[in-house]
Amino acid sequence: MLTLVAPPNAGAFSVNLRELFASVGARGKESRKLDAGDAAASEVILEADDLAQVREALKLAMVGQQLDWCLQPLAGRRKRLLIADMDSTIINVECLDELADFAGLKAEISAITERAMRGELAFEGALRERVAMLKGLPTTALEATYEARVRLNPGARALVRTMAANGARCVLVSGGFGFFTKRVAAAAGFHSERGNTLLEADGRLTGQVGEPILGREAKLSALNLEAAALGIPLQETLALGDGANDLAMIEAAGLGVAYRAKPVVAAQADARIEHADLTALLYFQGYSQGDFVTD
């Protein structure tokens, strides 16, 4: 199944799919539209002996096209478990960077965050370094950061609530902090959340983070544990993230998706969302616009 999703006002689609399929020995069988609104979402069922070959042809053909696409087996594409990163994925910011702004250290801390998300620094060490720089910051800055800076990314609420309404378990797993994951999980409709703990004393941050730190391997472990608890294979799971600490779970999930991701993550994901909003993940699973739960 090939799913194509373009945001409103995207440029014209200039790829001849019939010719592309024929060039790699594949054949489109049937197609249907998934979205009757301003955005364009459609899917094509195809026959192919070698999906990897079709995928490589699509990667080349889709360069410069203003749309997102996902090629996957037709069977089992509607997932029963969603594991999602929080910062810069479900929400619009990196909470630690925004918290640092209240200490006048956003530029310095954001630079470390960027290197860690690109995989240039070990996540755990980079987190400890950044938190140490915030020692003495009043804890009131946490609430101020959440209220002033944190917003759900477009489509996040519909993604989570639609999957949940259709029987999927939805879990927010973040290398960020529990103060934020609890609030974001409630706002988006996740069933549960996991995050790190900022230690505090006398109304101020101590500059330390609770151990063990939830990083790359902990996210993978969360995927495995949640799937085992549901009694489902990893093929029936979906993992979503943007940074290097998300890569292990993205690679292990049945469908691993990179959202506005760092190059190291985008290169390894099964699909990427670079243009559309997070409802693209619903289209990838075969949901139509009329199926979306938005309340």
Catalytic annotation present for 85: yes
Find out whether 166 and 78 touch, Cβ atoms under 8 Å.
Answer: yes
Strand runs (DSSP E) across 2-67, as ranges? Answer: 2-6, 27-33, 40-47
Quickly tell me which residue has 């927010």 as its tokens: 172
| % of the chain exceeding 90 in pLDDT | 90
Catalytic annotation present for 87: yes
Pick the catalytic residue from 68, 87, 246, 270. Answer: 87
Give the separation between CA 243 and CA 212, rounded to whole angstroms: 20
Per-residue pLDDT of 169-227, as tens digits, reads 999 999 999 999 999 999 999 999 999 999 999 999 999 999 999 999 999 999 999 99
Find out whether 286 and 79 touch, Cβ atoms under 8 Å.
Answer: no
Domains and CATH numbers, the chain: 1-75 (3.30.70.260), 78-295 (3.40.50.1000)
Contacts 24+ apart (CB under 8 A), 199-204: 200/139, 203/138, 203/139, 203/140, 204/135, 204/136, 204/137, 204/138, 204/139
For the record, the structure tokens of 157 come out as: 């609420």
Mean pLDDT of the chain: 95
| % of the chain exceeding 70 in pLDDT | 99
Pick the catalytic residue from 35, 85, 101, 246. Answer: 85
Per-residue pLDDT of 39-94, as tens digits, reads 589 999 999 989 899 999 999 999 999 999 999 999 999 999 999 999 999 999 99
Per-residue pLDDT of 104-122, as tens digits, reads 999 999 999 999 999 999 9
Amino acid (one-letter) located at 102? F
Ramachandran region, residue 222 (left: φ > 0; alpha: ψ -120 to 50; beta: rest): alpha
Find out whether 238 and 253 touch, Cβ atoms under 8 Å.
Answer: yes
Which residues are bridge partners to 209 per DSSP? 198
Q: Phi/psi at 77 (nearest 5 deg)?
A: -80, -20
Cis before 263 (ω within 30):
no
Q: How far is CA 268 from CA 88, 115, 199, 249, in A?
A: 18, 18, 34, 11
Give the separation between CA 44 and CA 283, rounded to whole angstroms: 12
